[in-house]
């Protein structure tokens, strides 16, 4: 029986950031991270857009707004200190039609309220920044950046191990029981008896939480984000990051152009219901996952309300032409021949029982566990700040 003082479930960027903060603030506490895959950051943390978000989109005062700002500053400092390549390149959010101007204005106001430097620009300035983008008005956000979050994860893991803590891969948590002095954690490699637990299981955070907390007020609904990549001859179409005005009803940003830190340009992601929580291709189906999504009353309510948008996203998923049309609204010169497939990612998005897409980070606390229930984008940018927040919550239990 192994008895670390704190056991962290999940070796994505949030689990690693929690361990990193914990090891700095409470160096005497022993930490073990359990990750079910053979490698770290195999899911959301290794399959995202790699954008260091500045924080313009989020409701002022929300956990997303606060942790994105703090987390971005902490991430830049961490990368500088650890020699990880990152770049503050700026981005544009582009309105292509008059009916988008009100939404553009409200993003601008949110950005300013969150302390983000941003400015309105017209078509002439837009052409200077992004010569191939079309738009009638845009917001320029010079603070936005790019980084490879997998590299961040791997450096965090090195630092955690260097402090003498354990990271065990290929170990799946299968059961969790909270007792008076400790918790019993069952895994595919035996039992653990930690005093405290942090649940950072991403796409499975609700299932892990349900092992000890019932009834759960949320369920994770997996939304796949599919990408294409611009072929080298078309990379000139995007210098940095070109975003559309997002639909304010959803926490997704709309298909956009992202120049990676390595130079390639990704296009996407869309947002379609994934038929398996870790189903990265359209044909992946997991009956348990699909049944859990489709029979969840919260999902049924969303589907009834937004079926038109959902069908549009599905259509864009199956039709490359439809995907290209969405991209052409931002960069008219792009065509299907410029695109090749690129691996997708899946967002863990919490949805409430009454059909609300939870548009903020969310935690659930039980006697010995802090569960990170909802940490979608900008979760990677915010990770170091989320880690601090989780450790502060956990520390209230330290006697």
Residue 225 near ligand FAD by CB under 6 A: yes
Of 12, 24, 394, the residue nearest 183 (C-alpha): 394
Per-residue DSSP letter, 117: -
Helices (H), the chain: 13-25, 63-82, 101-113, 123-129, 149-162, 205-210, 287-294, 297-318, 320-328, 379-395
Residue 87 near ligand FAD by CB under 6 A: no
Residue 381 near ligand FAD by CB under 6 A: yes
Residue 49 near ligand FAD by CB under 6 A: yes
Residue 51 near ligand FAD by CB under 6 A: yes
Which of 4, 50, 194, 251 touches ligand FAD (CB under 6 A)? 50
Residue 55 near ligand FAD by CB under 6 A: no
Stretch that binds ligand FAD, among 21-29, 105-113, 330-338, 371-379 (CB under 6 A): 371-379
Considering only residues 146 through 185, tell me which ones interact with ligand FAD, judged by CB under 6 A: 172-173
Residue 37 near ligand FAD by CB under 6 A: yes
Strand boundaries in 105-260, DSSP class E:
119-121, 137-141, 145-147, 166-169, 173-178, 183-187, 190-192, 196-199, 218-230, 241-244, 256-259
What would the x/- binding string for ligand FAD be over residues 263 to 282, using CB under 6 A? ------x-------------
362/341 Cα distance (integer angstroms):
33
Which of 7, 8, 23, 36 touches ligand FAD (CB under 6 A)? 36
230/336 Cα distance (integer angstroms):
10
Sign of the CA dihedral running 128, 130, 131, 134: negative
Of 395, 396, 368, 397, the residue nearest 26 (C-alpha): 395
Strand-pair partners of 88: 145
Stretch that binds ligand FAD, among 8-16, 119-127, 128-136, 352-360 (CB under 6 A): 8-16
Strand-pair partners of 242: 92, 257
Task: With H, G, I as helix, E, B as strand and everything else as coil, classify residue 101.
Answer: helix
Beta carbon nearer to ligand FAD, 137 or 144: 144
Residue 244 near ligand FAD by CB under 6 A: no
Which of 7, 9, 19, 261 touches ligand FAD (CB under 6 A)? 9
Beta carbon nearer to ligand FAD, 5 or 278: 278
Stretch that binds ligand FAD, among 9-17, 87-95, 121-129, 233-241 (CB under 6 A): 9-17
Taking the alpha carbons at both ends of the chain, their separation in whole angstroms is 23
The two structure tokens encoding residue 276: 């398996």
Residue 240 near ligand FAD by CB under 6 A: no
Q: How far is the CB of 152 from ligand FAD (least distance, A)?
A: 10
Residue 34 near ligand FAD by CB under 6 A: yes
> By the criterion CB under 6 A, which residues form the site for ligand FAD?
9-15, 34-37, 41-45, 47-51, 53, 172-173, 200-204, 208, 225, 269, 345-347, 375-381
């Amino acid at each position: 029986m192994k008895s670390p003082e704190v056991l962290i479930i999940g070796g994505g960027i949030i689990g690693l950031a929690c361990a990193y903060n914990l090891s700095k603030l409470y160096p005497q506490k022993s930490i073990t991270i359990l990750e079910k895959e053979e490698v770290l950051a195999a899911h959301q943390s290794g399959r995202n857009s790699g954008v260091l978000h500045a924080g313009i989109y989020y409701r002022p005062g929300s956990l997303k707004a606060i942790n994105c700002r703090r987390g971005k500053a902490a991430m830049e400092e961490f990368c500088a200190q650890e020699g990880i390549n990152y770049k503050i390149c700026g981005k544009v959010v582009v309105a292509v039609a008059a009916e988008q101007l009100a939404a553009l204005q409200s993003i601008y106001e949110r950005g300013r309220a969150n302390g983000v430097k941003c400015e309105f620009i017209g078509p002439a300035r837009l052409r200077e920044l992004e010569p191939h983008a079309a738009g009638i008005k845009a917001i320029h956000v010079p603070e936005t950046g790019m980084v490879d979050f997998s590299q961040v994860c791997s450096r965090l893991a090195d630092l955690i191990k260097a402090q003498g803590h354990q990271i065990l891969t290929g170990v799946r948590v299968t059961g969790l029981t909270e007792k008076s002095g400790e918790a019993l954690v069952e895994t595919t490699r035996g039992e653990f008896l930690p005093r405290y637990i942090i649940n950072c299981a991403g796409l499975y955070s609700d299932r892990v939480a349900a092992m000890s907390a019932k009834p759960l007020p949320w369920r994770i609904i997996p939304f796949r984000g599919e990408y294409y990549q611009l072929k080298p001859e078309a990379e000139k179409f995007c210098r940095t990051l070109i975003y559309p005005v997002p639909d304010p009803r959803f926490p997704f940003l709309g298909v956009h152009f992202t120049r990676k830190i390595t130079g390639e340009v990704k296009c996407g992601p869309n947002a379609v219901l994934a038929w398996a929580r870790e189903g990265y291709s359209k044909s992946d189906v997991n009956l348990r996952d699909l049944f859990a999504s489709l029979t969840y009353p919260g999902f049924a309510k969303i589907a009834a309300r937004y079926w038109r948008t959902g069908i549009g996203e599905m259509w864009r998923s199956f039709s490359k032409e439809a995907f290209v049309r969405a991209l052409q609204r931002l960069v008219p010169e792009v065509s299907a021949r410029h695109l090749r497939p690129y691996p997708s990612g899946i967002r863990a998005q919490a949805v409430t029982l009454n059909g609300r897409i939870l548009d903020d980070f969310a935690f659930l606390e039980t006697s010995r566990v802090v569960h990170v229930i909802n940490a979608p984008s900008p979760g990677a940018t915010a990770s170091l700040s989320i880690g601090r927040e989780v450790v502060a919550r956990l520390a209230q239990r330290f006697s």
